[in-house]
């Protein structure tokens, strides 16, 4: 896994998208006086989601940096769900995900082999995310109090983004394209959360995640077709 290999083979869309996002990020960071931690969280997050969309295992390197820096941003905002999500789930899952992807990538590249849902997978996902959101949402006031944080401004939205992100991360590690259905919703509600907190850097970050998710879904569908063609050979 050569470090610079992650930047090779980018499409024109990926290059243009990265440049536009970087410009928006720097502009909003300057206008809203964001600190270096918030900027680092956004930049590492951008690289992470682009590389996930490409099916490139280097995404886990940037995922570690993003989990650590975003945890600090969430702590300052009082979003205990996001804090615990990143420290207790996203951070360890980067290493688990890298291990799992290393066993299922094509030997000629850093691109992972992908797969798709059955009807049972869809039913299980909807049920689990719904139940998990309600349980965590009811526990949010107690969690914030236990951690010595300010009251959670949006406990049930935070609960949804927390549990749905955990579930989507598990699907990502298992190489399911349908992870993006959950990431779409997570990113929409995350934008709402950070608009409420008037943190435009985070709004830009999650808006970019949403747009990147559309590309990710499209690209993973292409990888599925490639995978099926390889099985037929």
Domain boundaries, given as residue ranges, for the chain:
11-232
12-31 helix and 200-232 helix, angle to the nearest 10 degrees: 160
Which pLDDT score is estimated for 65? 95
Query: Sign of dihedral through CA atoms 66, 68, 71, 72?
Result: negative
Which pLDDT score is estimated for 114? 80
Phi/psi for 105 (5° steps) reads -115, 160
pTM of this prediction? 0.75
List the structure tokens of 206: 């999650």
Which pLDDT score is estimated for 219? 86
What are the pLDDT tens digits along the chain (233 aa)? Answer: 577 777 787 888 888 888 888 888 778 777 777 788 888 888 898 888 888 888 888 899 999 999 999 899 888 888 888 888 899 988 998 999 888 888 766 555 556 778 889 999 999 999 999 999 999 999 988 988 888 888 888 889 989 998 999 999 899 888 899 999 999 999 999 999 889 888 887 888 888 889 888 888 988 888 776 666 555 44
Which pLDDT score is estimated for 232? 44
On whether the CB atoms of residues 55 and 114 are closer than 8 A, the answer is yes
Helix (H) or strand (E) holding 84: helix 80-84
Which pLDDT score is estimated for 168? 93
């Amino acid at each position: 896994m050569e470090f610079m290999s992650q930047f090779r083979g980018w499409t024109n869309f990926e290059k243009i998208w990265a440049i536009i996002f970087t410009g928006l990020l720097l502009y909003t960071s300057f206008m809203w006086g964001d600190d270096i931690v918030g900027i680092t969280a956004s930049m590492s997050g951008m690289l992470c989601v682009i590389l996930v969309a490409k099916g490139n295992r280097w995404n886990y390197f940037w995922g570690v940096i993003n989990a650590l820096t975003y945890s600090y941003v969430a702590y300052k905002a009082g979003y205990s769900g996001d804090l615990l999500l990143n420290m207790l789930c996203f951070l360890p899952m980067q290493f688990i995900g890298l291990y799992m992807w290393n066993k299922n990538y094509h030997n000629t590249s850093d691109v992972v082999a992908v797969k798709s849902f059955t009807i049972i997978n869809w039913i299980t996902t909807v049920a689990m995310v719904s139940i998990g959101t309600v349980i965590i949402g009811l526990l949010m006031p107690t969690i914030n109090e236990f951690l010595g944080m300010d009251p959670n401004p949006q406990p049930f939205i935070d609960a949804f983004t927390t549990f749905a992100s955990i579930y989507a991360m598990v699907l990502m590690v298992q190489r399911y394209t349908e992870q993006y259905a959950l990431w779409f919703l997570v990113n929409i509600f995350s934008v709402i959360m950070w608009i409420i907190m008037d943190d435009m850097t985070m709004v830009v970050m999650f808006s970019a995640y949403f747009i990147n998710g559309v590309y990710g879904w499209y690209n993973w569908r292409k990888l599925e077709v490639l995978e099926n063609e390889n099985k037929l050979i």
